[in-house]
Amino acid sequence: MPQKTINGTVIDVNEEGYMTDHSQWNREIAAALAAEENITLTDAHWKILDFISKDFGEKGVVPGMRRMNKIGNIPTKELYALFPDGPIKKAAKISGHPKPASCV
């Protein structure tokens, strides 16, 4: 299994860089993963990351765009503004969850 070192911490990842062991995730890891995507996390980002983690805990899958809009009350424009070029994939990666099945 591939591994990656972030801020001196070794994490397990898959070939696409998504974490495979969420127990290794923390806010510092998230900030480092976000920086790799040229994103500096703000409170608005954390609102989305927290929603993904909560929903993943309940459903066992990363929420898709429609669920983010309807249940999370997060507009599509906001998702794209905060996580450009693939907001669900980037947010899932930064939140330490697997790549969403709906994303290629």
Q: Looking at the 3D structure of the chain, how many domains does it have?
A: 1
SS3 call for 19: strand
CA distance 79 to 74: 7
Helix axes 27-36, 87-94, angle to 10 degrees: 140
* 25 assigned to some structural domain: yes
* Span 15-34, pLDDT tens digits: 999 999 999 999 999 999 99
* 104 assigned to some structural domain: no
* 9 assigned to some structural domain: yes
* Other beta carbons less than 10 A from residue 5's beta carbon: 9
Q: Which domain holds residue 90?
A: 3-94
Catalytic hit among 31, 39, 41, 103? 103
* Span 58-76, pLDDT tens digits: 999 999 999 999 999 999 9
Spell out the residues 6+ positions from residue 5 whose beta carbon is closer than 8 angstroms to its own. Answer: 11
pLDDT at res. 101: 77
* 101 assigned to some structural domain: no
DSSP category for residue 85:
S
Active site residue 92: no
* 32 assigned to some structural domain: yes
* 103 assigned to some structural domain: no
